[in-house]
Structure 1
Amino acid sequence: MGSNAAMHMALAGKTSGTLEFEATEPGDYPFYCTEPGHREAGMHGVIHVK
């Protein structure tokens, strides 16, 4: 399993950003939008590192 380290990026609407991290070990790294209702609406995923 991947790290439980938390990373956060706040963005204004209709903008984009880049968040970089270095996976130090294989595992599954989940991510999701923290705006209310967005995660439940499907704004989430998993980065699989082999």
Structure 2
Amino acid sequence: LICALETGGNISPKQAYDEIRDLWKKLKASKHNLLDNPLPPASPEPEV
């Protein structure tokens, strides 16, 4: 979408670059939050 906006002349190449860079930073932070945190302990299965 960002590339299409830039290609269509709706945003400048600098704006497109900045948007993509910001999204990449958010993606990296999200990855670290998901993968670097330890998993919570599994809850025991209820006995039947």
Per the normalisation by structure 2, the TM-score is 0.21
Q: Which structure has more strand as a fraction of its residues?
A: 1
Per the normalisation by structure 1, the TM-score is 0.20
Q: Which structure has more helix as a fraction of its residues?
A: 2
Question: Which structure is richer in relative contact order (CA contacts within 8 A, separation 6 or more)?
Answer: 1
Larger radius of gyration: 2
